[in-house]
Chain A
Amino acid sequence: MADRLPAVRMRGITKEFAGKVVANKNVDLDIYRGEILALLGENGSGKTTLMNMLSGIYYPDAGTIEINGKHRVISSPKEAIDLGIGMIHQHFKLVNVFTAAENIVLGMNEPSGFDLKAASERIRQVCDTYGFDVDPNQKIYDMSVSQKQTVEIVKQLYRGAEILILDEPTAVLTPQETDKLFAVLRNMRDDGKTVVIITHKLHEVLDISDRVAVLRKGEYVGEMITTETTAQEMTNMMVGHQVSLNIERPDVEMDYRMERIRVKNLTVRNNEGVVKLDDVSFTAYTGEILGIAGISGSGQKELLEAIAGLQPVESGSVEYVVDANSTPEEVEQLIGMDPIKIAQMGVVLSFVPEDRLGMGLVGSMDLTDNMMLRSFRDGMSPFTDRKAPKHLAELVVDELEVNTPSVSTPVRRLSGGNVQKVLVGREIAAAPTVLLSAYAVRGLDVNSSYLIYDLLNRQKGNGVAVIYVGEDLDVLLELCDRILVLCGGKVSGIVDGRTTNKNEVGLMMTKLGGGEE
């Protein structure tokens, strides 16, 4: 392969972000026509940053880029587009109030003039060629995530991108949708296009790529032909040392287990009147991790927020079982309560929300001030007490090895993993009986992820009822005792984490399968 002219040749690429570590350091990378390259690396290893420099979003501090053998300076997305480079970002770049067609032609300057009808016709042709299903006149805000992603891909094909970069494209897809996407990508490769897929999932690398290049902590560590490597070898390269790929799932003594949260016929509508949860019922037990699987936007957020007292509910009940053994059974109703009332009832309910800096923490405040976010009301004084929170902050920094200059650093300046440690540390410090967590390891590197799994398992061992909303099916299957699968706001089934498999859960996520508990 070395004698072929690469479509992209990057040499000595370096990029630094203010206040953070170097994102890319002296990276060399070649990408060839007619191949699918997997760019593998942990979260925070600089994969996205590197590709953003190819697509003109970021400008490198140093280094050169050659496209088809010609030296190019790419200082804006426009220049990248003109060079035939198209990138599908993890956070889709689509204007919500526009239709699919308007988004697809956005920024193009077709010589035929501005004609949305004609464009829609051509969009339909592209869709027919590759087997997509896109309605050009549908507004983006009415679309599901996988539809939005389809629009993104069609947009790039419509523009005739020769070099296509996809950033973690499968994060929001079901296994079946992933298979369909991969088929399209293979199709494109066979058409002679260049495809780069950014991922940290090993089985995807093995499944789709021809070649794999690995980044670690912003540096290029090597590349391999996919057929000649193994998952273990790639992991070692990615992490830099031997790691076991197994997540523990300790068994908890059965006499600890009792019912803790009983959700019955829960129905929730959002502000726009759309049903987000539809007649959801399940029970969470002490000493277990109950996983929640489903494509994103299936009602996970509403479910956790309803239990935490943050989401108005249309009907149904959420019972907190204080003591199942007393007669009559002692039960508290959580519906209609807000977080303060729930705490006043003596229910210690911890919640690690999906949006860490936008919900769980205050980005501009330091660690100390964040520690008191849920407890600042304590005491009769009109003034806040900062001694206890400071002490707690120091404790969390020590125990969870948070990498921060001091406890008076604004949390916004910490890296993703450290932010999550601060949040989880605070929530666990409250000694909860119920722990809700959403996407607890999203964006975290392997070591931080394993630390979080470990913390969750320890809570489970202490008899806490843990509810874990996840997106990575492999993790859910390894970590959780039981997995509840949501599809379009409905429970399509609850399966045993020890006996089920990925295909079964995947099918349930799209409602094709399903079976009762």
Chain B
Amino acid sequence: MIHISKRKELPLGQALAIRLGAIVLALVVCGAITTLFTGLNPISVYGAMINGAFGSQRKIWILLQETAILLCVSLALTPAFRMKFWNLGGEGQILIGGLASAACMILFGNTLPNGVVILLEIVCAIAAGAIWAFIPAFFKARWNTNETLFTLMMNYVATQIVAYFIIVWEVPKGSGQIGIINQSTEVGWLPQIGTYKYLLNIVLVALLTVLMYTYLNYSKHGYEISVVGESANTARYAGIKVDRVIMRTLLLSGAICGFAGLLLVGGTNHTITTTISGGRGFTAVMVAWLAKFNPAVMTASSLLLVFMGRGAGEISTTYGLNQSFGDILTGIILFFIIGVEFFITYRVRFEKKEKEATND
């Protein structure tokens, strides 16, 4: 017989140890599976993963850049999640933000000065993302329309809009892609800091992390978000206008997603495709949840997931496996981290079932 009961609050250290244990266990399982497919000894598997993530200066930069973008999206989703608004529309909000910046680059690249184009890009990307998140928020606030599915559907609507404009703007005609925008003039490209291609993105996201942490924990808005997330009834009692908070928070959430789109299009890729967000809208949900919606901890959880992805990617290329191998490993790690929370909240007791009806 197994009996389960709730635990008293675990000390932070112990809880952390349990979580770390789960990650280690997950890595062991991942190593074992990789060994199974590649026939390599597990040590070199881990070696390859670490090499994939930290192997060269360039790889470290890419790792940090990827972490920054993922963290940025996670930060965007967090205020919504704290309010128990399941914004699964990060994907679409990034795409629309990216589309807006690409549009600015293409439409004004030859007519306006670079500085103005960049300014326009920033404004348009943020506004586009914000509007994209505001639509489901409006319906949620007014009629309590299910936001999980609404935001999910908005992703695909966004994808098709992007697909439409890619064909409208494709270069050359019939190729189905836009290619690098303003390759010769570099108009609308976000500036580099020194010779470091990715540094600007990383700095901006680091700043955003601090701002978001402060906003959520110390501002009146942040307090309202927490109350709404706990109980709409309590919020009403406290005189908080729940609908207004939902819409305001989702504007912010979408704006930051749009900003992430800007970083991707204007900062690194300088083009737009329908897959530019690369599932980050979903991965960020897990990053934020794993960190219990704490922006500081999210830095670690996004780094972990990016490390896994990069490491697995390295294994795939080195040993001729396919790139999707990374998704499998990420999935396994997630299952472990998701599952381990149980052992932090509950206590499990094993006991033999006593023989029933001994007086028989």
When A and B assemble into the complex, do they touch directly, with CB atoms less than 8 Å apart? yes
CA A351 to CA B5, docked complex, whole Å: 36
Question: Quick one: which of A17, A19, A59, A365 contacts B226, CB cutoff 8 A?
Answer: A365
B335 within 8 Å of A (CB atoms): no
**Does B343 reach chain A (CB closer than 8 Å)?**
no
**A339 located at the interface, meaning its Cβ lies under 8 Å from any Cβ of chain B in the complex:** yes
Contact with A along B318-360 (1 / 0, CB 8 A): 0000000000000000000000000000010000011011111
Known: A17-B6, A310-B236, A384-B223. A364 touches B230 (CB 8 A): yes
Comparing A285-293, A352-360, A489-497, the segment that makes contact with chain B is A352-360
CA distance in complex: A73, B3 (Å): 13
Contact-size category for B: 20 to 34
Are B218 and A384 in touch, CB under 8 angstroms? yes
A249 to B199, CA, bound (A): 73
Q: Are B359 and A361 in contact (CB under 8 A)?
A: no
Establish whether residues A382 and B230, one from each chain, have CB atoms under 8 Å apart when the complex forms. Answer: no
Residue of B nearest to A15 (CB): B5
Which chain A residues lie closer than 8 Å to B219 at the CB level? 382-384
A377 in contact (CB, < 8 A): yes
Does the CB pair A358–B356 fall under 8 Å?
no
Q: Is the CB of A340 within 8 A of B237?
A: no
**Bitwise interface map of A from 43 to 78 toward B, beta carbon under 8 Å scored 1, else 0:** 000000000000000010000000001111101000
Partner of B356, one of A19, A72, A308, A351: A72
CB distance B359 to A70 under 8 Å? yes
Name which residue of chain A comes closest to B214, CB basis.
A383
Determine how close the nearest CB of chain B comes to the CB of A384; give it in whole angstroms. Answer: 5
Max count, chain B CB within 10 A of own CB: residue among A355, A363, A364, A384: A384
Residue of B nearest to A409 (CB): B9
List A contacts of B218 (CB < 8 A).
383-384
Residues of A within 8 A of B8 (CB): 18-19
Task: Report how far A355 CA is from B237 CA in the complex, Å.
Answer: 11
The answer to the question of A429 belonging to the interface, with a C-beta cut-off of 8 Å to chain B, is no
Contact, CB under 8 Å: A369 / B234: no
Minimum distance in angstroms from A453 CB to a CB of chain B: 24
Chain A contacts for B173, CB-based, 8 A: none
Q: Which of A361, A363, A372, A373 has the most CB of B within 10 A?
A: A373
The reply to whether B221 and A382 contact each other, CB–CB distance below 8 Å, is: yes
Contacts of A308 in B (CB 8 A): 237
Among A18, A338, A340, A343, max chain B CB count under 10 A is at A18
Residues of the A chain whose Cβ atoms lie less than 8 Å from the Cβ of B237: 308, 310, 339, 351, 353, 359-360, 373-374
Distance from A24 Cβ to chain B, minimum over Cβ atoms (Å)? 14
| A221 beta carbon closer than 8 Å to chain B | no
Interchain CA distance A384-B231 in the complex, whole Å? 20
Across-interface contacts of A17 in B (CB, < 8 A): 5-6
- A70 contacts across to B, CB distance below 8 A: 357, 359-360
Binary B-proximity of A371-388 (CB < 8 A = 1, otherwise 0): 011101100001110000
- Tell me, in angstroms, the Cα distance from A357 to B201 when the chains sit together: 43
- Residues facing B in A77-92 (CB within 8 A) are none
Q: Contact at B234–A343, with CB atoms within 8 Å?
A: no
A362's partner among B226, B239, B241 (CB-CB below 8 A) is B226
Contact of A71 among B1, B221, B238, B356 (CB under 8 A): B356
Report the Cα distance A184→B227, complex, angstroms. 46
- Quick one: which of A18, A340, A343, A363 contacts B7, CB cutoff 8 A? A18
CB neighbours of B230 from chain A (8 A): 362-365
In the complex, which residues of chain B have a beta carbon less than 8 angstroms from the beta carbon of A353? 237
Chain A contacts of B226 at CB under 8 A?
A: 362, 364-365
* B233 within 8 Å of A (CB atoms): yes
Q: Are B223 and A71 in contact (CB under 8 A)?
A: no
A362 to B224, CA, bound (A): 11
Report yes or no: A339 in contact with B239, Cβ–Cβ below 8 A: yes
CB distance from B355 to the nearest CB of A (A): 9
B220 within 8 A of A: yes
Chain B residues with Cβ below 8 Å from A362 are 226-227, 230-231, 234
Quick one: which of A359, A377, A384 contacts B234, CB cutoff 8 A?
A359
Q: Give the distance in Å from the alpha carbon of A71 to the alpha carbon of B358 in the complex.
A: 6
- Give every chain B residue within 8 A of A377 (Cβ-Cβ): 220, 239
Which chain A residue has the least Cβ–Cβ distance from B349?
A61
In the bound complex, what is the Cα–Cα distance between A372 and B360 (angstroms)? 62
A374-B239 contact given A70-B359, A73-B356, A384-B218, CB 8 Å threshold: yes
Structural contact, A358 and B239, CB atoms closer than 8 A: no
Residues in A whose Cβ lies below 8 Å from that of B241:
338
- Residues on the B chain within 8 Å of A373, using CB: 227, 234, 237-238
Closest chain-B Cβ to A313's Cβ sits at a distance in Å of 15
Min Cβ gap B207→A in Å is 18
B360 → chain A, closest Cβ, in Å?
A: 7
Minimum distance in angstroms from A467 CB to a CB of chain B: 16
Asked if B353 contacts A73 (CB within 8 A), the reply is yes
With known contacts A70-B360, A339-B238, A355–B353 Cβ distance under 8 A: no
Determine whether the beta carbon of B6 is less than 8 Å from that of A18: yes
Q: How far is the CB of A363 from chain B (nearest CB, A)?
A: 7
CA distance A383 to B356 in the complex (A): 62
Chain A residues contacting B239 (CB-CB under 8 Å) are: 338-340, 343, 374, 377
Contact of B233 among A358, A364, A369 (CB under 8 A): A358
In the complex, which residues of chain B have a beta carbon less than 8 angstroms from the beta carbon of A19?
6, 8-9
Compute how far the CA of A17 lies from the CA of B8 in the bound complex, rounded to whole angstroms.
9
Task: Please list the 8 inter-chain residue pairs (A to B) with the smallest Cβ-Cβ separation, ordered nearest first.
Answer: A339-B239, A340-B239, A18-B6, A359-B233, A362-B230, A19-B8, A18-B8, A70-B357
Q: Can you list 29 contacts pairing A with B, beta carbon distance less than 8 Å? A: A18-B7, A19-B8, A70-B357, A71-B356, A71-B358, A73-B354, A75-B1, A310-B236, A343-B239, A355-B233, A358-B233, A360-B237, A362-B226, A362-B227, A365-B226, A365-B230, A373-B234, A373-B238, A374-B237, A374-B239, A377-B220, A377-B239, A382-B221, A383-B218, A383-B219, A383-B220, A384-B218, A384-B222, A384-B223
A interface residues (Cβ-Cβ under 8 A, vs B): 17-19, 59, 69-73, 75, 308, 310, 338-340, 343, 351, 353, 355, 358-365, 369, 372-374, 376-377, 382-384
Interface residues, chain B, with chain A CB atoms under 8 Å away: 1, 3, 5-9, 218-224, 226-227, 230-231, 233-234, 236-239, 241, 347, 353-354, 356-360
